[in-house]
Structure 1
Amino acid sequence: MSRLCAFGATLSLCLLLLAGPAAADPGPGHMPVGRATTQPIGHHLFCLENAAECRPLESRGLVTPLKLDHDLILAVAEVNTRINARIEPRSDAELYGTEERWTYPTDAGDCEDFALLKRRALHEMGIDLANLLLTVVRKRSGEGHAVLTLRTDRGDFILDNLNWRVVAWTDTPYRFVKRQSGSDPGRWLDIGVASEVVVGAVAK
């Protein structure tokens, strides 16, 4: 990872998040999630292998959006750039001979593998899983793609293997389809009109 690239990603996130006051309640900066929808098949299989990561979280009560401060902003940007630099983009077909496999990558993986690894890294830093939500989108080409949504008091932000910068969800080129529930990691919610999407983007 180049120092210039990492610095640019961090500076971009800092300027974006420190530009204005935190929102008092969800508004345009937060995704309009709706009803329960189908769980991506790859995530379903992941949950069968990693049941502890997909258990409901309701017993803890309501988790408020993550409150960002300067140190946390720097840490989030660093995780995004570090994992994007360390993991080689490779498709599930190349790695496992299958169309869809969600797993933690060691040195190579596709979009959902990047998102899973970032989710785990940020959770290990103390961010609640309710604010780290796997999300399925469609690229402009129509191809399915997976990213990680960071739910904060300043809106929803996206960590993406196709972008060194952490940006507001409204500043991405994607059509958002569905994401994990904040209270139940094995449950997924509509964002707009949902459909069954195979995800696996490794390049723009």
Structure 2
Amino acid sequence: MAGAPALAAAPMATGGLTSQPIGHYDFCQANPDECSIRPQDQAPVRMSGALWKLLVSVNVGVNQAVKPMSDLENYGKEEFWAYPDNGFGDCEDYVLEKRRALMRKGISLADLLITVVRKPDGEGHAVLTVRTDRGDFILDNLTDAVRPWDETGYRFLKRQASNHTGHWVIIREGQAPLVGAVK
């Protein structure tokens, strides 16, 4: 898709505060400055052709640059969130790198939200949600396609709060419909 998506995606409905994933908690202990940011502008970023191209470019670029490796293989522990500076990582490491790249391009952290989902097979997974005025879009290490959140087939559990990088909120009505499902 060359320009911005033609159709708007629905924004996720979020609820109250919930617990941080343990990996994010540990990441915040090691990087406290990254987990105490309170973005001022709470309006979603304006979707444009240039933003769409940037999202696709960052998603594909990070997916190609980082090689998959479990935390246990990479760090010797089960759950360790870190930037993939050594070229290896698992899903949340891809998310952190995409978030960092987009933040460096001027996108507010209020619009770059680490999100925890369940894949259709029940396995936990992390993706990056990008909030826009045309809805919420997902950057995922399992696909180079940037998709509306409600076209992923994932069950959305929780994500970072848009007003504080160290807080997490539940996602109400968190089941993304299966693509092509009859309603």
Q: TM-score, normalised by structure 1?
A: 0.81
Q: Is the 8 A contact 2:117 2:158 kept in 1?
A: yes
Q: Is the 8 A contact 1:177 1:193 kept in 2?
A: no
Matched, 1:14 2:41: no
1:192 CA displacement: 3.2
User: Is the partner of 1:66 in helix, strand or coil?
Assistant: coil
Q: Is the 8 A contact 1:137 1:178 kept in 2?
A: yes
For residues 133-169 of structure 1, give each alpha carbon's deviation from its aligned partner in whole angstroms, at most 9, with x where no partner exists: 0000001111110000000000000000001000000
1:193 CA displacement: 7.9
Amino acid in the other structure paired with 2:25 = H
Partner residue, 1:201: none
User: Is the partner of 1:48 in helix, strand or coil?
Assistant: helix
Superposition pairs for residues 17-28 of structure 1, below 5 Å? 17=5, 19-20=6-7
Q: Is the 8 A contact 2:13 2:173 kept in 1?
A: no
Partner residue, 2:179: none
Partner residue, 1:80: 59
Matched, 1:183 2:163: yes
User: Is the partner of 1:185 in helix, strand or coil?
Assistant: strand
Q: Is the 8 A contact 1:89 1:108 kept in 2?
A: yes
Query: Using the alignment, how far apart are the partners of 1:98 and 1:193 within structure 2?
Result: 33
Amino acid in the other structure paired with 1:89 = P
Query: Using the alignment, how far apart are the partners of 1:125 and 1:31 within structure 2?
Result: 24
For residues 30-68 of structure 1, give each alpha carbon's deviation from its aligned partner in whole angstroms, at most 9, with x where no partner exists: 01100111100000000011111111416x3x4200001
Query: Using the alignment, how far apart are the partners of 2:97 and 2:132 within structure 1?
Result: 19
Of stretches 127-136 and 90-99 in structure 1, the one that deviates more from structure 2 is 90-99
Q: Structure 2: which 5+ runs fail to align?
A: 175-183
Superposition pairs for residues 25-104 of structure 1, below 5 Å? 29-57=10-38, 60=40, 62-104=41-83
Instruction: State percent identity of aligned pairs.
Output: 49
Query: Using the alignment, how far apart are the partners of 2:142 and 2:125 within structure 1?
Result: 10
Query: Using the alignment, how far apart are the partners of 2:156 and 2:98 within structure 1?
Result: 19
Query: Using the alignment, how far apart are the partners of 1:71 and 1:176 within structure 2?
Result: 27
User: Is the partner of 2:92 in helix, strand or coil?
Assistant: helix
User: Is the partner of 1:142 in helix, strand or coil?
Assistant: coil
Measured on the aligned residues, the alpha-carbon RMSD in Å equals 1.7
Query: Using the alignment, how far apart are the partners of 2:145 and 2:47 within structure 1?
Result: 17
Q: Is the 8 A contact 1:87 1:114 kept in 2?
A: yes
Alignment counterpart, residue 113 of structure 1, candidates 93, 96, 105: 93
For residues 103-130 of structure 1, give each alpha carbon's deviation from its aligned partner in whole angstroms, at most 9, with x where no partner exists: 0002110000000000000000000000
1 or 2, which has the higher strand percentage?
2
Q: Structure 1: which 5+ runs fail to align?
A: 1-10, 23-27, 195-204
1:89 CA displacement: 0.7
Matched, 1:151 2:151: no
Query: Using the alignment, how far apart are the partners of 2:81 and 2:173 within structure 1?
Result: 23
Q: TM-score, normalised by structure 2?
A: 0.90
Query: Using the alignment, how far apart are the partners of 1:14 and 1:47 within structure 2?
Result: 36
Matched, 1:132 2:121: no
Amino acid in the other structure paired with 1:39 = Q
